[in-house]
Amino acid sequence: MADLSSLLAVIEHDPEDAQALEALAAAARASAPDVRTTRFAAARKVLSGRNRPDGVVHLIDVELDATTDLDRKIDLLLEKGMALDGELLDVKAAREVFAQVLKLRPQDEMATDALEELDVAEKNW
């Protein structure tokens, strides 16, 4: 099995590489949390810079699956919701993600604000 850094480097260059994507979940679970957080953040930044929000969301999903820390999960969900709403224009999925955040942290200000903004935008249409 390839290490996390190698797999993410492949995905940074080809976000649809089936072999790298298949091995990524196991490598993420096997990595130390701090290494995983740092390396995934760097890879998401690269993909974002290459205008691949679909790849960013996929990496968030993989990291979410490997993460047990509640605060980290919430941060990742917020980032995912913003990518879904702002870049992929998937309002329904963004709403679901922000609702997940509120289930985990009922008073989360960012999720509440994001849902309110989605409501305002929907009413304006």
Query: 38, 40, 93, 45: which is closest to 63 by C-alpha?
Result: 40
67's CB contacts (< 8 A; 6+ apart) are 33, 36, 73, 76
Q: What is the CA radius of gyration of the chain?
A: 15
* pLDDT tens-place string over residues 12-24: 999 999 999 999 9
User: Contact 81/117 with Cβ under 8 angstroms?
Assistant: no
* pLDDT tens-place string over residues 32-80: 999 999 999 999 999 999 999 999 999 999 999 999 999 999 999 999 9
- Which one-letter amino acid corresponds to residue 109? E
**This prediction's pTM:** 0.93
